[in-house]
């Protein structure tokens, strides 16, 4: 089998060119039909590019949902207790600097 991109001769058993790694055989993800050209499956008519893009979008959405669901958020009581601490630190620093200037 000859590579359509670099014209290197490849074995019939390989799926990608041994020189430039161009796909030589395309497998339909829906029906597992193996064909020599991409685009639309010759057996079931699935558009391979649209199918791959849809799988990428679904994986991205699933990862985003998982990321949102697994994010840890502190409880409300922690916000209430620890909220004044930065304000106290800033006030202390302000007063110390003001005392040093005088």
Q: Show pLDDT as tens, one digit a residue, over the chain (102 residues).
A: 899 899 999 998 898 999 999 999 999 988 999 998 888 999 999 999 899 899 999 999 999 998 888 777 788 898 888 988 999 999 999 999 999 987
Q: Which residue has the tokens 């990321």?
A: 67
pLDDT of residue 93: 95
- Give the global pTM: 0.49
Domain segments of the chain as ranges:
26-74
Q: Do residues 15 and 22 make contact, with C-beta atoms less than 8 angstroms apart? A: no
Pick from 53, 26, 54: which is nearest to 40 by CA? 26
pLDDT of residue 97: 95
């Amino acid at each position: 089998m000859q590579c359509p991109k670099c014209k290197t001769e490849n074995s019939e058993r390989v799926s990608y060119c041994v020189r430039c790694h161009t796909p030589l055989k395309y497998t339909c993800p829906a029906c597992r039909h193996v064909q020599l050209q991409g685009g639309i499956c010759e057996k079931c008519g699935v558009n391979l590019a649209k199918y791959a893009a849809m799988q990428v979008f679904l994986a991205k959405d699933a990862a985003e949902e998982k990321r949102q669901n697994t994010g840890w958020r502190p409880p409300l009581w922690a916000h209430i207790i620890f909220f004044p601490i930065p304000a106290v630190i800033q006030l202390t620093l302000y007063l110390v600097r003001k005392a040093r200037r005088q």
